[in-house]
Structure 1
């Protein structure tokens, strides 16, 4: 039978072994800051007229008020057109500053998609909500207000072309 000194020695080794296993398993836990979990929850197409963006403040100041919304248009200054309302699972303010939004759209009656790239605007502070309004405006959307694109795909990428999130319409993969 082993004496108490040998038992204590074995117990210390066992304790050290179990501690090492525990610490190594803790080190392997996912510690990313949430960027990898970015998802696009929904994409809703909506035709919007110029007047829908007007506000009393704009009449007074002459500057468009975005009302804590991120609005990015294919043709700056042209407001009427089709907007893809992209809703994320995280706040826009959490996106990397170098994020670009690639919008691929099959226009009605067209065989190939039009591709639009929307870089995040360089502003002091991005809105603190989860929706982005991507506008295909002016000549980029010359269809009636009842028309919808045949299919679309939205991809958020960083400056190294790494995909942060992607979502497409059901028709896109057909």
Structure 2
């Protein structure tokens, strides 16, 4: 007769970098406040929050979880890290998240033409309306489209560094 196999349960407090734990221990009040903010109008002060603490205390997991909950409430989200290319990453992630709500003009231009055996041509998709526009202009255009759908936007930035120029641009752009 074989020995019985011991039941083993995974430790819910084991760090799982990049994954949200099954239970956000000790974060119930923050989560409740934020979910209530997602459900309320845009004047809720919790909508502009900063979470800080020592490494490994679950800040990144909390941001990921709150983004998930915001999506459940119909918000579009962008989770990024404060690093080079952050602003463009925010724009791309928001456009991906909002693809079902916004219209993108389908525009193409010829990228190359060849006359090998029969001939060839390649196309490039472009955004004619905002080609050459800066980040703020593109974001404002996205927000204008989303305003018509009454959709909230959550931008979650991890590893914030106040000396990072793109972080400063993000904050100064939207404090007005």
The verdict on a shared fold, with TM-score over 0.5 as the criterion, is no
| TM-score bucket of the superposed structures, by smaller chain | under 0.3
Greater Rg by CA: 1
- The structure whose residues are more often strand, as a share, is 1
TM-score norm. by structure 2 comes to: 0.19
- The structure whose residues are more often helix, as a share, is 2
Greater length-normalized contact order (CA 8 Å, ≥ 6 residues apart): 1
TM-score norm. by structure 1 comes to: 0.19
